[in-house]
Amino acid sequence: MGILTKWNTCRVDGDQIRMGNTVEDIKCDFVENLFCTQGKFPEVATINDCYGAVAHTVRNRLLHRWIATSRAYYEKASRTVIYLSAEFLMGPQLGKNLINLGIYEQAREALADLGLALEDILAYETEPGLGSGGLGRLAACYLESLATLEIPCIGYGVRYEFGIFQQKIDNGWQVEMSDRWLRLGYPWEIVRPEIAPEVKLGGHTEHYTDELGRQRVRWIPDRVLMGVACDMPLIGYAVNTANMLRLWKAEAARSFDFQAFNVGDYYRAVHEKVVSENITKVLYPNDEPAVGKQLRLEQQYFFVSCSLQDMIRIYLQRKESLHEFHEKYVIQLNDTHPAIGVAELMRLLVDEHRMDWEQAWDITSNTFAYTNHTLLPEALEKWPVSLFAKILPRHLEIIYEINRRFLDQVRVRYPWNEEKVQDLSLIEEGHEKYVRMANLACVGSKAINGVAALHTELLKQTVLKHFHDLWPEKFSNKTNGVSPRRFIVLGNPGLTRLITSKIGDTWPRDLGELRKLEQYVDDSGFRDQWRQVKLTNKGRFAAMIRDQVGIEVDPESMFDIQVKRIHEYKRQHLNILHIITLYNRVKRDPGMDLTPRTFIFGGKAAPGYFMAKLIIKLINSVADVINKDPDVGGRLRVVFFPDFNVKNAQYIYPAADLSEQISTAGKEASGTGNMKFSLNGALTIGTLDGANVEIREEVGAENFFVFGLTAEEVCRQKTEGYSPRNSYLEHPELRGVIDLIDSGFFSHGDQDLFKPLVRSLLEYDEYMLFADYLSYIEGQDRVSLAYRDEQHWQRMSILNVARMGKFSSDRAIKEYCKDIWHVQPVHVEVRETFMAE
């Protein structure tokens, strides 16, 4: 207390403690940081030094709010949302932080005064690619909205030393390069070596009777490691709330080093350290679960255990017993990757905190909630029981006990129905037994949700049907959303200025306000400005294409873009079939009247996914031919833009005229790129899949190019027997396209290269490209026609933006808060002193 009183006298006014927001304040702090954090003087400062100095200048302003926020949460003992996710695709931090702090313009001016361009520094920044796709990016948007809505929250995850690989294209093929995002240091994280829970792995269990005569279990591990907390502050938009993302980095536990040293085994001690650190070395780059990969299971358990121990530590700072744990916390499981948390919380409560099983279960099953992100049966995670027994022997016992009690209930509810029992069981029986993580998540959670209306309905009817029959009240839909701050305000400053000039500046935190734009659709001056913004954005992206890919594209042509992970169900190859169809038409009649289009693709293929990599090769091979053909005369251009990531995405969405959302109906859970495109004024050509259905409902069917089979029709055709070869024989244009690929025309006469792709389409066509081909081509023909009526196109584009308010991540988070989390905002004031009054 003495020291606190002394510290309290150290009042410093706002400006001195690195808070000021004027151009002058920012300039001074920048120069000071150049000296004190980079150790440089201006004449020798590199771009990296300048970036570091700006980042620290911004970080200082975040830290004040971060401290004020944690103090407010501490004082109010607030109920807290825990977002547990194996992936957070946070994107570059500088621009977003400047926007959310409201000092973007001041910073730009301050740097300009010093002869530096903020744009150059933003372009220099690298991003932590700690996620592989939509699921990780959704987590990042949700954390941003949680802070903006002033909701107490901690995001917990893994600090991978290497994130998702960087993609290069070499001779048309994807080449993966390691992502060394920490190479030059990372100014946004604060490492807290003193927050370092221990995590056990392997070994065996011992059952014993304690001093009170109760049956207890001890886990004797054969490895112990340590998680070190690496924190990132996450500031909300135009509020003081700065929440925390805490990522765990694995290190060797010190006690183990000592043991080895004691017996003189220096080598083993060091080896132990290397092996321990491996756990958080690299993100698995696949878009399907890594069945049976020991390291992946260890990663999942590692971060979940660290996080739960950390939550308990924080909780016990204020409380004596853990009986109200579920009132303090609600834990959202971002898919099943953290589902082991159900068993781990049971273990911590029962084994380590000596709670009764029943009470522990009551707490656990009232703490967790589970979001499912996929309908693909092959993407449901399961782990071999043998692997579980080896790595997590105690958890396997706990899972068996949860299952025993659960199946007893099932048998009461469905007497003599062993089929039900088998479907619901946490264990899949068979030659090799598996632990089913989705079943564990469902049993251990009080709420279960899908990520778009159609997806939730299909979940209830298919993969989670038996759980829905058992507990319909647990299920709800939470359609995804995206952050308008990152994907409009930061990514599309031109559009932001135009919108704000018409409807004021409150729309970024109340996206429904965009509706007010509807009143300007008939204003031709406004439509012209709207078109001009798009043209500028296209010019900006065209320059990036020129610099990075070496292809000249015309910003006046329609930018038709498909960016997302490369996967057969997402059907990038259907897009190619359309491109080749147009090419064949031009070759037949070079003088034809063709709407000029630039087709742009981007996205990473899982390194081991042969067919996805072949699709990338096909895109590049088709590009080589078409871009050079004088008959085409530049009216069609095809570009594969390498290394699609959050940073590139910010330039891509604003430049699109047409958004390709063409997955087989019933396969894409939601999609979020579809929302980002439409919010930036692109029109969509899409199937009735995922959130496309709701986007179309919102923007109006007349402003959306729909095509293809519905999910129901896909299902029906499959059961009735679908023959892709019949479609091929029936449609001459399709035949022309497939035959051209097959002939080796795009592969310098090599008829083998694309054979696996052609074969798989002709013989199986699992994702029904041929069934949707005709309807897709007709849809594209409608698009080409529509683009020629420029005034009408602008109208549709404006209406898309005006009606997309629903897809703000703020709306999604409000729904989670109300229906699942039952949590209230906590308003944060920033005081001018660090200490309590």
Please name the residue that has the structure tokens 């007497």: 415
Q: Which 463-492 residues touch ligand F58, going by CB under 6 A?
A: 480
Q: Closer CB to ligand F58, residue 491 or residue 603?
A: 603
Is residue 676 annotated as a catalytic residue, yes or no? yes
**# of chain residues touching ligand F58 (CB under 6 A):** 20
What SS3 state is found at 66?
helix
Q: Rounded distance, CA 773 to CA 581, Å?
A: 10
Q: Closer CB to ligand F58, residue 131 or residue 221?
A: 131
Q: Closer CB to ligand F58, residue 52 or residue 708?
A: 708
Is residue 806 annotated as a catalytic residue, yes or no? no
Is residue 803 annotated as a catalytic residue, yes or no? no
Q: What's the token pair of residue 712?
A: 């129901």
Annotate 793-805 with b (16+ C-beta within 10 A) or e (fewer): bbbbbbbbbbbbb
Is residue 373 annotated as a catalytic residue, yes or no? yes
Residue ranges of alpha helices (H) inside 472-609 are 484, 493-503, 524-549, 572-588
C-beta of 231: minimal distance to ligand F58 in Å? 23
Q: Closer CB to ligand F58, residue 664 or residue 727?
A: 664
Which member of 144, 643, 668, 694 binds ligand F58 (CB under 6 A)? 668
Q: Who's near 264: CB < 8 A, 6+ residues apart?
A: none
Q: Which 314-353 residues touch ligand F58, going by CB under 6 A?
A: none
Q: Closer CB to ligand F58, residue 143 or residue 355?
A: 143
Q: Which stretch binds ligand F58 (CB under 6 A): 18-26, 201-209, 670-678, 809-817?
A: 670-678
Nearest one of 286, 736, 681, 357 to 492, comparing CA atoms: 681
Which member of 92, 289, 642, 779 binds ligand F58 (CB under 6 A)? 289
Is residue 718 annotated as a catalytic residue, yes or no? no
Tell me if 142 sits within 8 A of 812, measured CB to CB: yes
Q: Which residue is nearest to ligand F58 (CB)?
A: 134
Q: Who's near 56: CB < 8 A, 6+ residues apart?
A: 33, 37, 187
836: left (phi over 0), alpha (psi -120 to 50) or beta: beta
x-marked contacts with ligand F58 along 94-133 as a string, rule CB under 6 A: --------------------------------------xx
Tell me if 196 sits within 8 A of 227, measured CB to CB: yes
Which member of 286, 294, 584, 627 binds ligand F58 (CB under 6 A)? 286
Please name the residue that has the structure tokens 């496309």: 692
Q: Closer CB to ligand F58, residue 135 or residue 224?
A: 135
Contact between 690 and ligand F58 by CB under 6 A: the answer reads yes
If 0-12 CB within 10 Å is exposed, 13-18 middle and 19+ buried, where does residue 314 land? middle
CB neighbourhood size of 471 (10 A) = 16
Nearest one of 136, 142, 809 to 484, comparing CA atoms: 809
Contact between 240 and ligand F58 by CB under 6 A: the answer reads no
Is residue 564 annotated as a catalytic residue, yes or no? yes
Q: Rounded distance, CA 537 to CA 404, Å?
A: 59
Q: Single out the catalytic residue among 373, 382, 455, 647.
A: 373
Q: Single out the catalytic residue among 280, 664, 672, 687.
A: 672
Which member of 62, 424, 669, 683 binds ligand F58 (CB under 6 A)? 669
Contact between 675 and ligand F58 by CB under 6 A: the answer reads no
C-beta of 419: minimal distance to ligand F58 in Å? 29
Q: Which 370-409 residues touch ligand F58, going by CB under 6 A?
A: 373-374, 379
Q: Rounded distance, CA 595 to CA 788, Å?
A: 7
Q: Single out the catalytic residue among 61, 137, 570, 578.
A: 570
- Distance separating the N- and C-terminal Cα atoms of the chain: 13
Q: Closer CB to ligand F58, residue 407 or residue 458?
A: 458
Q: Closer CB to ligand F58, residue 340 or residue 398?
A: 340
Q: Which stretch binds ligand F58 (CB under 6 A): 51-59, 286-294, 313-321, 491-499?
A: 286-294
Q: Single out the catalytic residue among 565, 635, 667, 806.
A: 565
Q: Rounded distance, CA 140 to CA 157, Å?
A: 11
Q: Which residues form the catalytic set?
A: 373, 564-565, 570, 672, 676
Binding stretches for ligand F58 (CB under 6 A): 132-135, 138, 286-289, 373-374, 379, 451, 480, 668-672, 690
